């Protein structure tokens, strides 16, 4: 891990790192916020997965998570959204290729050589930060849009690795949406039976989640139809999945929406990661 930027923030430190990824076969950049409590010992970690076209920087700068993480004593991990660099496959469209890794392991050329974001987040980056930073092994995960899709699918498939999961306006049913069918076909091939492991609605129906789930969705989200939140909400209702699916009136898909409810999500994860009610935590 090579530190390439470091800033003091709310008594803690916001650092950007670069490292050579064996999984993605390229240099990868990610960011970590360590709260002031990390100076006294290991702390839990909340992973934030970003959406289409983003890098580690978007949520780090615009999400407003650091103040809340410092209050509750939680580290933040901001991975990139895809592999990047010379020789990494790309596409002219904004929603495929670099910036649009969809948090899966591609099996189809030309993507399969580098696009292994599922293993990268779940295994390689997790092992790297846990080995180098004061983290205590308790992890939660959240994300926005494509990153909400990633947070839900990674957690639902790996409840042993995450104690809590939430999402902001996730791509909830990608196998039935133009934000999903195009990418799943490109990365995994046209056999739709291979897509179910990367669809939160399908996974919620088949696997469920052992705890509760928090999802926020803006009512005025300009991408509402592409996200298909109603599909996931319907499955949660029919399977009696514990959780809160909140429609926030008047909010769109932007980081104004994310930053408004960032405090709710950090407090909610803190309650579950620490196994107790967190100071100021809501919703209960």
Could you tell me if 75 and 46 are in contact, meaning their C-beta atoms sit under 8 angstroms apart? Answer: yes
DSSP 106-139: --STTTTTT-BHHHIIIIIIHHHHHHHS-EEEEE
Residues 6+ apart with CB under 8 A from 124: 21, 22, 23
What are the start-end ranges of the H helices in 51-125? 57-62, 65-72, 117-119
Query: Catalytic pick from 221, 264, 265, 269?
Result: 221
Catalytic residue flag (residue 253) = yes
> d(Cα 93, Cα 75) in Å, to the nearest integer?
34
Place of tokens 């080995």: 131
Q: How many helices (H) and strands (E) does the chain have?
A: 10, 9
Q: Give bridge partners of residue 143 from the DSSP assignment.
A: 49
- Out of 253, 264, 265, 278, pick the active-site residue: 253
259: annotated active-site residue: no
Distance, CA of 57 to CA of 222 (rounded, Å):
23
**Active-site residue, selected from the candidate residues 9, 145, 166, 202:** 145
Whether the CB-CB separation of 159 and 65 falls below 8 Å is answered with no
Q: How far is Cα 53 from Cα 204, in angstroms, rounded to an integer?
A: 26
- Give yes or no: 185 in active site: no
CA 201 – CA 213 distance, rounded (Å): 13
Which residues are part of the catalytic machinery? 145, 221, 253
């Amino acid at each position: 891990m090579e530190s390439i930027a470091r800033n003091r923030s709310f008594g803690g430190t916001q650092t950007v790192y670069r490292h050579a990824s064996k999984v993605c076969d390229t240099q990868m950049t990610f960011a970590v916020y360590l709260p002031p409590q990390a100076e006294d010992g290991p702390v839990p970690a909340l992973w934030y997965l970003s959406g289409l076209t983003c890098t580690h920087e978007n949520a780090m700068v615009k999400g407003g998570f650091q103040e809340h993480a410092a209050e509750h004593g939680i580290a933040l991990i901001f991975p990139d959204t895809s592999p990047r660099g010379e020789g990494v496959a790309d596409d002219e469209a904004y929603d495929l290729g670099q910036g649009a890794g969809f948090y899966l392991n591609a099996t189809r050329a030309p993507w399969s050589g580098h696009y292994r974001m599922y293993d990268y987040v779940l295994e390689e980056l997790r092992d790297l930060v846990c080995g180098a930073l004061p983290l205590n092994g308790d992890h939660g995960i959240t994300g926005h849009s494509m990153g909400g899709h990633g947070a839900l699918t990674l957690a639902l498939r790996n409840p042993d690795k995450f104690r809590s999961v939430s999402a902001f306006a996730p791509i909830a049913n990608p196998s039935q949406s133009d934000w999903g069918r195009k990418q799943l076909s490109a990365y995994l091939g046209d056999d739709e039976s291979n897509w179910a492991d990367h669809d939160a609605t399908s996974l919620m129906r088949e696997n469920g989640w052992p705890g509760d789930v928090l999802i926020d969705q803006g009512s005025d989200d300009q991408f509402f139809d592409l996200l298909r939140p109603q599909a996931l909400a319907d499955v949660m209702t029919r399977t009696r999945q514990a959780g809160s699916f909140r429609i926030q009136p008047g909010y769109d898909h932007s980081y104004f929406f994310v930053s408004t409810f960032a405090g709710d999500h950090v407090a909610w994860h803190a309650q579950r990661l620490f196994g107790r009610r967190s100071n100021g935590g809501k919703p209960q």
